[in-house]
């Protein structure tokens, strides 16, 4: 469907209104059955999904990079369905969804819930990775637990019809946003696909058939005019967008630069990306540490060719780090060696050319740019390049001084508050002690990853995903509200992820209790395609018999 006339839109909204009445009558048990049916249709059509995704992105079907499409596509949605199902099971049994989870105090009068690992399979498949969701200040652990479940605590009280304006970069975003609207907001959904993902319409219709058949979801395609018509329709009561600040502001204020008058007459939530930093705290690293963490930073930048809302854009180093030059040499080597990609996302070449025009001394490998920029100000700090462009800047100081300055720099200089990464040696972290915790607490980002990429937070179904709270419509930064959040937590502030500094087996040899090999989302992973497919199959139907194949593939990566 390339256009959507008024009569057709009116008809779809009326179908969804009828679907809302059906949704209100469905018990938690009925909703669990719908989730199970949707999981089954997704498992049936996952291969088709990935093949279409590869066609859109120009990926050879035998490339290890296909693993990105398995993991950030079917795996992410299947994991979310499984986690949502457990939340509904708890509510149906009269329990809090947080029963059995580790609740603790977090700094600054906050509560924290450990969402990763959850269960023995997490401990085996993601050994060494942890994630906590922190509440906003003043929220107790008891309140966190009592409020969990959001709208599913009263499923008969529905939230009307919402429109989801889907993203065009990571193909699980639109399905996950749709599920979140259904279960967190208790709304039925008109999903408008990004034109990049139009080829996925047939498979999305198959995947969501259990929800479509009951009138709970409708999917349309088209350009900005279709999205605008849906947003303006009087029968639509809520808007959610994943996209750019420019698109958000056009919806809220209308075309032009005037932000004084809000024209949108309904609530809007959003996830809008930004300029994500990777802060490398100085320490004494081995040559293999330097090489591995260089691959890690390159992954944070070049996963999906940099077309990620949390692609690292500014690498922050200490000018006093004795190994700075050695790390940059390893970074250049990994950057140059990464597999070539098709620049499929519209405007990529133009944005890269603009970055090159602003930085004529940039190092270049085909369309990949490495910029050396001053810390006192640069376009790379305020303009999201959304492509294979990485800026390197330096701040002075020993580990403690540097980290304090880097936190201030990220909070004050960089646009957006979606995700920030920190890399540091475990020995350095121990030496920093409570000052490291203070630094994490001061960072104003919705997801913070330590020795991990914030993309791990995206893939953790029970973690929250969204901007740091508090942005007004007139300065929305990385957005308003959260998604994913399969525990349906209220009063969320951020997710904090930790990962292992070294991969297995070197982690064990150097005294770290972590058995995770090079992660399958690394752009250097050689077996990511097979591992990703096996992980997706596991997420659909977890079982012990599937673990040996996953481990065997992962260890060869």
Q: Are residues 93 and 55 in the same domain?
A: yes
Q: Are residues 313 and 447 in the same domain?
A: yes
Q: Are residues 213 and 242 in the same domain?
A: yes
Q: Are residues 286 and 261 in the same domain?
A: no
529 within a domain of the structure (yes/no) = no
Give the CATH number, domain containing residue 265. Answer: 3.40.605.10
Pair of tokens at residue 246:
């420019």
pLDDT recorded at residue 509: 66
pLDDT recorded at residue 507: 76
Secondary structure (DSSP) of 186-198: --EEEEE--GGGG
Q: Are residues 239 and 287 in the same domain?
A: no
Residue where one domain finishes, among candidates 252, 271, 290: 271
532 within a domain of the structure (yes/no) = no
* Angstrom distance (rounded) from CA 529 to CA 280: 29
Q: Are residues 342 and 439 in the same domain?
A: yes
A 10 A CB-CB count for 258 gives: 10
Q: Are residues 72 and 211 in the same domain?
A: yes
pLDDT recorded at residue 4: 79
> Which position has the token pair 């481990």?
551
CA 163 vs. chain centroid, Å, equals 20
pLDDT recorded at residue 2: 44
Q: How many domains does the chain have?
A: 2
Integer Rg of the chain from CA: 22
Q: Are residues 195 and 282 in the same domain?
A: no
* Angstrom distance (rounded) from CA 400 to CA 383: 29
> Which position has the token pair 């100000």?
377
181 within a domain of the structure (yes/no) = yes
78 within a domain of the structure (yes/no) = yes
Q: Are residues 291 and 434 in the same domain?
A: yes
Percent of residues in the chain assigned helix, strand, coil, to nearest 5: 45, 15, 40
Torsion angle, alpha carbons of 540, 543, 548, 554, to 10: 30
What pairing do the DSSP bridges indicate for beta strands 419-423 and 447-450?
Answer: parallel
Residue where one domain finishes, among candidates 221, 247, 271: 271
286 within a domain of the structure (yes/no) = yes
Q: Are residues 261 and 289 in the same domain?
A: no
Give the CATH number, domain containing residue 403. Answer: 3.40.309.10
515 within a domain of the structure (yes/no) = no
* Angstrom distance (rounded) from CA 175 to CA 480: 19
pLDDT recorded at residue 514: 74
* Angstrom distance (rounded) from CA 2 to CA 221: 6
Q: At what angle do helices 76-92 and 28-57 cross, to 10 degrees?
A: 170
pLDDT recorded at residue 311: 98
* Angstrom distance (rounded) from CA 195 to CA 124: 39
pLDDT recorded at residue 6: 84
Q: Are residues 218 and 258 in the same domain?
A: yes
* Angstrom distance (rounded) from CA 232 to CA 287: 57
470 within a domain of the structure (yes/no) = yes
User: What are the backbone dihedrals phi and psi of residue 339, each rounded to the nearest 5 degrees, phi first?
Assistant: -60, 140
| Rounded alpha-carbon distances, angstroms, from residue 419 to 350, 446, 456, 478 | 25, 6, 11, 9
207 within a domain of the structure (yes/no) = yes
What pairing do the DSSP bridges indicate for beta strands 161-165 and 188-192?
Answer: parallel
Print the domain residue range for 290: 276-454+465-475+484-509
**Phi and psi based region of residue 222 (left: phi greater than 0; alpha: psi -120 to 50; beta: remaining):** left
Mean pLDDT of successive 10-residue stretches along the chain, which has 557 residues: 76 98 98 98 98 98 97 98 98 97 96 96 94 97 94 97 98 98 98 97 98 98 93 97 94 82 94 97 97 97 98 98 98 95 96 95 94 96 97 97 98 98 96 97 98 98 98 95 98 97 80 80 96 97 96 91
Q: Are residues 262 and 348 in the same domain?
A: no
* Angstrom distance (rounded) from CA 463 to CA 176: 13
* Model confidence pLDDT, tens digit, residues 421-467: 999 999 999 999 999 999 999 999 999 999 999 999 999 999 999 99
């Amino acid at each position: 469907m390339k256009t959507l006339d008024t009569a057709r839109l009116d008809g779809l909204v009326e179908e969804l209104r009828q679907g809302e009445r059906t949704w209100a009558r469905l018990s938690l048990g009925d909703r669990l059955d719908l989730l199970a049916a949707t999981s089954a249709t997704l498992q049936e059509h996952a291969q088709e999904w990935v093949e279409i995704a590869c066609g859109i992105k120009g990926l050879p079907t035998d490339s290890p990079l296909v693993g990105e499409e398995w993991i950030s596509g079917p795996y992410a949605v299947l994991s979310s369905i499984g986690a949502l199902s457990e939340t509904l099971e708890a509510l149906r049994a009269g329990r809090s969804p947080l029963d059995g989870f580790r609740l603790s105090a977090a700094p600054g009068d906050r509560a924290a819930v450990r969402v990763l690992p959850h269960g023995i399979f997490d401990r085996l498949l993601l050994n060494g990775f942890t994630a906590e969701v922190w509440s906003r200040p003043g929220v107790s652990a008891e309140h966190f637990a009592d409020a969990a479940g959001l709208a599913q605590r009263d499923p008969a009280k529905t939230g009307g019809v919402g429109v989801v304006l889907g993203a065009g970069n990571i193909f699980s975003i639109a399905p996950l946003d749709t599920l979140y609207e259904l279960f967190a907001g208790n709304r039925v959904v008109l999903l408008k696909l990004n034109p990049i993902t139009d080829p996925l319409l047939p498979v999305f219709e198959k995947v969501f058939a259990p929800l479509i058949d009951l009138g709970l979801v409708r999917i349309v395609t088209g350009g900005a005019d279709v999205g605008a018509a849906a947003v303006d329709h009087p029968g639509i009561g809520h808007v959610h967008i994943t996209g750019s600040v420019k698109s958000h502001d056009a919806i809220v204020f209308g075309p032009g630069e005037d932000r004084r008058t809000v024209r949108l007459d309904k609530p809007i939530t959003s996830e809008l990306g930004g300029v994500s930093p990777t802060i490398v705290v100085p320490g004494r690293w081995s040559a293999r540490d330097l090489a591995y963490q260089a691959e890690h930073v390159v992954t944070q930048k070049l996963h999906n060719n940099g077309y990620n809302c949390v692609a690292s854009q500014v690498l922050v180093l200490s000018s006093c780090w004795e190994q700075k030059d050695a790390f940059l040499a390893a970074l250049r080597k990994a950057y140059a060696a990464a597999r070539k990609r098709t620049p499929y996302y519209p405007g990529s070449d133009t944005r890269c050319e603009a970055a090159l025009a602003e930085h004529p001394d940039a190092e270049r490998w085909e369309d990949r740019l490495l910029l050396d920029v001053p810390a006192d100000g640069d376009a790379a700090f305020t303009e999201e390049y959304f492509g294979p462009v990485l800026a390197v800047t330096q701040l002075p100081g020993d580990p403690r001084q540097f980290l304090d300055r880097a936190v201030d720099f990220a909070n004050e200089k960089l646009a957006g508050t979606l995700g920030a990464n920190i890399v540091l040696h475990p020995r350095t972290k121990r030496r920093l002690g409570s000052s490291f915790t203070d630094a994490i607490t001061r960072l104003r980002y919705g997801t913070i990853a330590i020795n991990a990429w914030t993309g791990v937070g995206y893939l953790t179904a029970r973690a929250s995903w969204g901007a740091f709270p508090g942005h007004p419509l007139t300065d929305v930064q990385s957005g308003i509200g959260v998604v994913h959040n399969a525990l349906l937590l209220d009063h969320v502030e951020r997710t904090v992820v930790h990962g292992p500094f070294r991969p297995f087996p070197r982690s064990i040899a150097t005294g770290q209790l972590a058995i995770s090999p090079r992660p399958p989302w690394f752009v250097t992973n050689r077996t990511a395609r097979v591992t990703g497919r096996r992980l997706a199959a596991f997420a659909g139907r977890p079982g012990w018999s599937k673990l040996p194949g996953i481990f065997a593939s992962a260890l060869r990566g």
